[in-house]
């Protein structure tokens, strides 16, 4: 039985990914900042016939990440899939005085960049125990430098510097990890789930065309890559995304 951990798995895309993985018979560890929220999501997965447990994990807290990894090691022994899903977009509701705001950058990078680093560092020893470890970094086309410079892109007119640059940095982490782990069975992928109906931003809940369940499919594909698939790619539901 494979074991997967999904950060921010108590709602939105994270919960949809957890449910999709559970339908494959994978034991899903729901990682959430709130114990109650994590347990409720794990209970839901079990009520649907899945195997699930939960751990408390604020991705900005290295101590919590290490403690969560210790729990998974003790209870399950290894990890096969890590989905770095937790993300924030403070610029959706804040009104900075200038185009760039250092406070918003810090808040965004703490979760969107340092969060995956903290969690990956804590769980990498358990992923190394897997015969086919997979790391999925949930990114965005708004982190594509090529896309941001393309007037034909639907995201060209969107300017949220902290969020966009945080996802570009996350993509850089994907490439670096793929290279560093090239001599192991672990594969690393950046995934853009699309414009999804979530609580990430008010406009997403009101105008996004994709449900979380639909968006979970591309994340699921990256989490279950075959052994012959390349590592270090950036993809969405259609295919490769330009860096």
**Which secondary-structure segment (H or E) carries 18?**
helix 12-23
Element (H, E) at 235: strand 233-235
In this structure, the strands spanning 81-84 and 3-7 are: parallel
Spatial contact of 241 and 147, defined as CB atoms under 8 Å apart = yes
Tokens encoding 2: 């494979």
Query: SS3 letters for 57-116?
Result: CCCCCHHHHHHHHHHHHHHHCCCCEEEECCCCCHHHCCCCCCCCCHHHHHHHHHHHCHHH
Q: Which two tokens stand for residue 198?
A: 């979530």
Exposed (0-12), middle (13-18) or buried (19+): which is 92, by Cβ within 10 Å?
A: middle
Q: Write the DSSP string, 170-191.
A: HHHHHHHHHHHTTTSS-EEEEE
User: Could you list the active site residues?
Assistant: 163
């Amino acid at each position: 039985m494979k074991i997967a951990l999904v950060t921010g798995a108590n709602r939105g895309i994270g919960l949809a990914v957890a449910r999709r993985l559970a339908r494959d018979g994978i034991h899903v560890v729901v990682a959430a900042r709130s114990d109650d929220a994590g347990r409720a999501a794990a209970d839901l997965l079990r009520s649907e016939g899945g195997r699930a447990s939960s751990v408390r994990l604020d991705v900005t807290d290295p101590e919590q990440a290490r403690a969560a990894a210790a729990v998974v090691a003790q209870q399950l022994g290894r990890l096969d899939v890590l989905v770095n899903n937790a993300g924030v977009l403070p610029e959706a509701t804040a009104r900075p005085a200038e185009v760039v705001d250092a406070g918003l950058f810090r808040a965004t990078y703490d979760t969107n960049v340092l969060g995956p680093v903290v969690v990956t560092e804590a769980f990498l020893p358990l992923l190394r125990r897997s015969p086919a470890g997979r790391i999925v970094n949930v990114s965005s086309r708004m982190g594509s430098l090529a896309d941001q410079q393309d007037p034909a892109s639907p995201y060209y007119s969107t300017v949220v510097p902290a969020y966009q640059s945080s996802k570009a940095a996350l993509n850089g982490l994907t490439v670096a990890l793929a290279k560093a782990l090239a001599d192991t069975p672990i594969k690393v992928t950046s995934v853009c789930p699309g414009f999804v109906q979530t609580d990430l931003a008010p406009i997403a809940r009101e105008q996004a065309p994709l449900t979380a369940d639909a968006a979970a499919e591309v994340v699921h594909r990256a989490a279950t890559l075959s052994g012959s698939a390349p590592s270090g790619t950036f993809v969405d539901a259609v295919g490769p995304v330009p860096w």
